[in-house]
A = this chain, B = another copy of it.
Amino acid sequence: MNNLPDENLPITTIAVDAMGGDLAPTEPVLGAAQATLESTAHVILVGDKIRILNLLNETEYNANQIEIIHTDEFVTNEDIPQQVIKKKPKASMILAAKLCREGTVQGLVSAGNTGAYVLSASQYVPRIVGVRKTAIAAVYPTQNAQKRNDYFALLLDIGANVHCATEDMVQFALMGMIYASDIKGIPDPTVALLNIGKESYKGGEMLSRVYKILDRLPNVNFVGNIEGDDVMKGLADVVVTEGYVGNIVMKTIEGIAETLSHLGRYAFKHRFLWRLGLIALSGGIRTLKQLTDYSEYGGAPLLGFQNVVIKAHGRSKAKAITNAIKLAAKSYRDNICGKISNEISQFESNTFIDDIKYNF
């Protein structure tokens, strides 16, 4: 058996919102079951116990690594995020988040309503001391201009916040840097600022202050501003932006594959060769869409919490949930949250940074 716990490793337990996502509870439960076969992670499934047990009965799993906490409340995509905590205090997503606060679990996975998930985590998962704002980081495919071992980069924030202050953005860079370093297995990931021009003074006051701070932080491998057409090139491992812009950019990219195939049909209507090409490619375009679902990395991390919090895509299949659980367990064992905490403390206590922040 390949899932015998290494006796040197502490047990890592991940709470999974069994009722979150378009395909819940089936895919979250099957994904959790598979995770217990593929890894040493323990899983607590939070949701409708009878439905969960029925699903588990039909699949293989390691019974020693699975536990169920019952609730019959859950959040739908139609729920207004701001109302969820008051109206559905026993929702599976919320109970799962509370398990973090109690120290019962080390990480959290949900494919449910993003806004409600961010708010539940903000309410019940302890924040790292010194972190001003948490951020959602998208893991997205690039052209790999830097010739890394993989084709993915991190874009944050993509919507935990709308507008940000200078220090928020610098903290996003630091948190993204730690995360990218770990998941990409590289010691010194490059960090860039998404802007409307390369020059340091571009994009208004806030962005040019962020530029100056990142440029002078000795432990940040800052490569400067990148523009919209560079986002997909992979010129940097971590791309920092305000939630407002990151959300619009990420959704624009997600909408592209569909549009291209549609536009293609229009533009190439009378060209047999092109038509042939589109038919041959249709499977490929689907593959690209799946890539942008970031299922390969198991989901988008919410950074800034003392626990690992992973948002899996709403349409996640079992495999994506399995990956998300393994990712959460690995991130915990790699002590990502502790490393982020150290990095943030170091930044906040750095007096030379105060000079930069307030004197230019």
Q: Which A positions have Cβ atoms within 8 angstroms of B?
A: 141-144, 151, 159, 162-163, 194-196, 202-204, 227-233, 243-245, 247-260, 262-264, 266-268, 271, 273-274, 276-281, 283-284, 287-288, 291
Contact = CB atoms under 8 A, between A and B. Distances in A.
Q: Top 6 A-B pairs ranked by shortest CB distance? A: A228-B251, A277-B280, A229-B255, A277-B281, A232-B259, A228-B252
A188 to B, nearest CB: 24
Contacts of A257: 260
A260 B260 contact: yes
A279 to B, nearest CB: 7
Q: Chain A at the B interface: mostly helix, strand, loop or mixed?
A: helix
A284 B277 contact: yes
Given A228-B252, A244-B196, A255-B230, A273 B280 contact: yes
Contacts of A243: 196
Nearest to A259: B232
A134 to B, nearest CB: 16
A268 B288 CA distance: 10
Given A162-B204, A232-B255, A248 B267 contact: no
A318 to B, nearest CB: 22
Contacts of A229: 251-252, 254-255
Given A245-B248, A264-B288, A281-B281, 9 more contacts: A162-B196, A162-B203, A196-B243, A196-B247, A229-B255, A231-B252, A276-B280, A277-B278, A278-B281
Contacts of A194: 248
A50 B245 CA distance: 48
Contacts of A267: 284, 287-288, 291
Contacts of A276: 277, 280
Nearest to A275: B280
